[in-house]
Amino acid sequence: MANFRKSCIDREPLIGTFSAIPHPVAIEVTARAGADFLCIDWEHSQIGRERIEDLIRAADVHRVPAIVRVPGHAPEQIAAVLDAGAAGVLVPRVSTADQAKAAVMATRYPPVGERGVGPGRAANYGYSIPDYLSKANDELVLAIQVETSEGLENIAEIVGVDGVDVIFIGPGDLSVSIGALGPKGKNKLDAAIRTITKTALAAGRTVGIFRPSTDDIAEWSATGISFFVLASDTMFLGSAVAEKTANARKLATKATVV
């Protein structure tokens, strides 16, 4: 897991998924299924702060990196998940360079940033603080989510912020923000995604994106995107049940009484 940040920065193809089910069993099942990483979704799920550490611990059992999408920009939220042992953090709704810099400050220890030292799980509850401090800045992944019209407008300044590892595109919110929702807005949304991708790659940043299915992974991979968050555990559960139930219904025949 120590090489996860290097894999991100080197733009190795990485396929992860959002974890929204607030139970370690869901984490273990997903981790064993072959995901390269998990993104525990604290922003858009019923997962609470107290549960996050258990979910990270479950991912650690199977040596699958778990990053956490925090609800906002608050430094204490970022510090909390990193202290719990997360392999990194995904900060949503980053629309300016100043917000990107603030995320760096909250994620990195001095002299790079301003993260406070705490005796959490990541530092072996205080018994391994020097060891953790010596490697945290080099190993923790900082991904920032660009998903607004303002972020699109400011993308050149955002990607220039040192300390950001992954520029992660949120197509759902971006489509709403730029007025490109639905099939009629596809070309406009795709153009915005390509602008963000091209600008970020030119600045030496890794680019990631959320995709609800595998249908266009090859298309977006060809643009240089290498960090994919594919659907979520809840979406996979729903689609699998729907598919298998429909198939079973087709195969089942009405019982006849002789």
Is 44 labeled as catalytic in the residue annotation? yes
Determine if the peptide bond prior to 111 is cis (ω within 30°). yes
Residues in Cβ contact with 177 at an 8 Å cutoff, skipping those fewer than 6 apart: 147, 148, 149, 150, 152
Q: Which of 23, 44, 62, 73 is catalytic?
A: 44
Contact 164, 108 (CB under 8 A): no
Q: Which tokens belong to 258?
A: 């002789």
Q: Which residues are catalytic?
A: 44
